[in-house]
A and B are shown apart, each in its own frame.
Chain A
């Protein structure tokens, strides 16, 4: 009985603190509701497109600071063989701003050019091993993670030294390897649904 309990505890801990997906790992598929129009969007990892999965949210000031940059990047790469998915994994019961209605409001106010999906039970964030908002994963057309980490090293364009996400997209869309494939995502901790 004790052994069973110990195994159960390990499994629970494992599900709460899943490791960040490694570069080279197979990306999990997901099927989530877009807060903007209520439609379900399926992300199929091996769909042939480069995909950018961005864990973000409404109430984190650091995620908000990156919002204009994310919009700029999406506008630049949309229609060029890249698909974008913004995902809010935060618990809306403790943080009401993170509800579907709150997400729709923000997406419309800011003119999001990408779907804003609700990860209502935080399971997709756990599957990717996302820790913070914003936290980015780039998946190639075959479903393999090719970049993980931050958008840029700094939210302030004047201080920026690394444009890791756009560098990764530039490499992948030109058939090259990503040179800086893993960076350290800073941000607000994900408010897990418990």
Chain B
């Protein structure tokens, strides 16, 4: 049983209440406690209820049409199953969440209508489903059964709660080599079990892989699975599905799918996970096929110069044009990934003290944190403890990019603008904004904190014209440019105001998660403030590379952690760059 005071749940609830985005993919993937996972799942439902009432379309939620079997052709029951909601819809039918009273559990039901020239032979589909039911592996979705009822072929299987890798990628951006290799190793084992059952998958792609709440990687959707034991020409005759970007070149040439074409597809998937691109690009099947014909092939090394060679070599071999040059079994592919992971798995300091839910974000951030420490070597609060802390992607421990940054805060009053410098005064009625110019795409975060530790997020804000990453080369004004005079306005006085400006060449997942709990200004609405918890401050200290992430001392403030003052003029930065500007906001100016 989770407590209502669970800090993490409260943080998520606060974000929902504030309309801030929540990284559900990562939360669900990294949550280990079953009770908390269930509550998180319900909080996600609550978020949709809140969004509905706010009149905002959920950005990453299925539309009403997609979630309910409410169209006139959709059944409410199918056989002994009760349909609860539609969770996916594709060219070959729909997938529903359904309740199985016999199993006393929810299941995923894939329904494919017959008689619409879908190239589906019901007897063959049933045979495939029965073959799939033979596969028993934790990384393969468990098939419970199949039948033809009411003109629909249905296959019902384990209901996996989580996110597809497509969703994961869109939410988090490309993954690091190590995380991709870990998923790849799981998928190799899944495919090995499929191949051992005499089947090939035939449609390995990001959308067909789920990352379950709890972190399990599950291979899904055997809609085009093929029986390896069938004569090749029969199998080739129904090769109508599959995403061209993942299809092996020999399949384009008319050869049947095989275990080696599954190796190719998995290689493409891992390439895609670390680059968000495909090795042989194209917008249509014809374009991809033509690219294969002329040998157009993006090299992984060109896209990820930071990736370890062992990883690059494994992927390039998996996606070799000539099937004879590929790994000759999925097991050989897994062994290559394991060798890479074996090297990457032995960092000097494992991040065992870190909660798993933040570890993924800290991976990049702690790398950057090391650079932060390096450039702040003179700071009295900068012991080198964390510089050796192993990030998640230690195998890809490239130096963060160098970039130039020039930023300043301005006060506007009575139509005049004044650049703010440390110790300057502000007063209620003053309108503030920042100007920024960076030499490379940069992620920017600005937090305001007062002497009581009350803080809120000033940037990034939803609905603004300026978003992260900040574009390189052109002057940018924040908050946003939705209207000419968008500003942060001071509405009351007392004490000092600390502005913490964080910039990074990489997105700071950990920061975003921690800052998600902070209130932020909205147009015409009152602003509330709150304190970052001591636990969160401890994490930030770790992220900043300053401590080994113990709980922050009572009364600790962001302003007391990140003390480098904002100066005049352009600076050269590597990785994370943090500056503080403190101004006076006395009760009687």
Q: Tell me, yes or no, whether A binds B.
A: no
